[in-house]
Amino acid sequence: MEKTSKFLYFVICYVFFIFTDLYCSNLLVDKLLHGYKLSNPVFSLNYVKNTGAAFNILQDARELLIILSMVALVLLALHVIHRLKSISLKSCFFIALLSAGIAGNLHERIVYGYVRDYFQLNFINFPVFNISDIFINIGVIALIILILINKKK
């Protein structure tokens, strides 16, 4: 596939994921703030303002988290741009997913001063999380799997 086409694919995936993340987050938070409740044995919707990162680390370190997020986004974009000739579409897809997750949390930190979390697992003691966090975790896990598969070859 041509480099321009791969880059366009990456950008389209990224825009789709970031739009989906922001739209769905706004919709869910709006419903939760207006009294919507959902709970079952697997998960609950529980709105929480998170001023830190995953697992409550770096609480109230907004500026540091903003800087780290921006650095991560630049490095991911540079990685894709510099490897357009050899990067796979799967890698582009999952880097776009990871980048959109980082950008979603970055957006909320800049706009609101915190990240809006709302998914709470009921079957395990686990921090409340959001769609951006899901995108980040799926992206990281998938990229690790792709790296391990490529190392075997």
Report the alpha-carbon distance of residue 17 to residue 26 in Å, rounded: 14
In this structure, are residues 46 and 93 in contact, taking their beta carbons and an 8 Å threshold? Answer: no
Q: What ranges in 34-88 are assigned the alpha helix state H?
A: 62-82
Q: Indicate which residue of 21, 30, 60, 133 is catalytic.
A: 133
Reply yes or no on whether 60 is catalytic.
no
DSSP secondary-structure letter at 56? G
In this structure, are residues 139 and 101 in contact, taking their beta carbons and an 8 Å threshold? Answer: yes
Reply yes or no on whether 117 is catalytic.
yes
Q: Indicate which residue of 21, 30, 60, 117 is catalytic.
A: 117
Nearest alpha carbon to residue 132 among 102, 93, 88, 87? 102
Active site residue ranges:
117, 133
